[in-house]
Amino acid sequence: MTLTIELFTTDILLMINLLPESSGSLVCIKVSGKLTDAEYKNFIPQIELVIEEFGVIKIYIDILELDGWEWRVAWDDFAFGIKHWRSFSKIALVGGRRWEELSAKIADKIIKADVKYFGKENSIEALTWIND
């Protein structure tokens, strides 16, 4: 299956962009700007298609340019996490803020997937780790 994620909706560029490193059961994304609930809801079905094909996937998320999100995104992400808590084997989070690192450490303790945080200077290390 070729992963195709619609990046445009009514001529507006979404804040979730698929990275070229994505392949097979590995999804690599960059999230930037302020993430809206509409953008998140547009993206999730695409991830679910990959989960449907592979069962368990790995995800690399670059949030270095994320400026925040609408409150509804947090709720929808929580619901998605509950629905698919067994669908991820590894999650690499690349960021630049202390609270992001703490969030990754907490997530690593409460979900099945291995979750690891990488600082902005370690994005290549994150890709290596997620591919192992």
What CATH number has the domain bearing residue 89? Answer: 3.30.750.24
Flag whether 43 is in a domain: yes
Dist CA 10 CA 30 (whole Å): 20
Mean confidence (pLDDT) of the chain: 88
Which candidate, 87, 90, 36, 95, places its Cα nearest to that of 64? 95
Q: Give the number of domains in the chain.
A: 1
Q: Which of 51, 43, 50, 17 has the alpha carbon at shortest distance from 31?
A: 17
- Judge whether 2 lies within some domain: no
Residue 110 pLDDT exceeds 70:
yes
Terminal Cα distance for the chain, rounded: 21
Single pTM value for the model: 0.86
**How far, in Å, are 19, 32, 56, 92 from residue 27 at the CA level?**
8, 16, 11, 10
Confidence of residue 15 (pLDDT cuts 50, 70, 90): confident
Q: What is the pLDDT of residues 70-80, one digit of tens each?
A: 999 989 988 89
74 is written with which tokens? Answer: 């947090």
Residue 35, C-beta contacts closer than 8 angstroms, at least 6 positions apart: 15, 16, 66, 68, 69, 70, 73
Instruction: Write down the pLDDT at residue 14.
Output: 57
Domain range for 21 = 8-131
Q: Is residue 117 part of a domain?
A: yes
In this structure, is residue 3 part of a structural domain? no
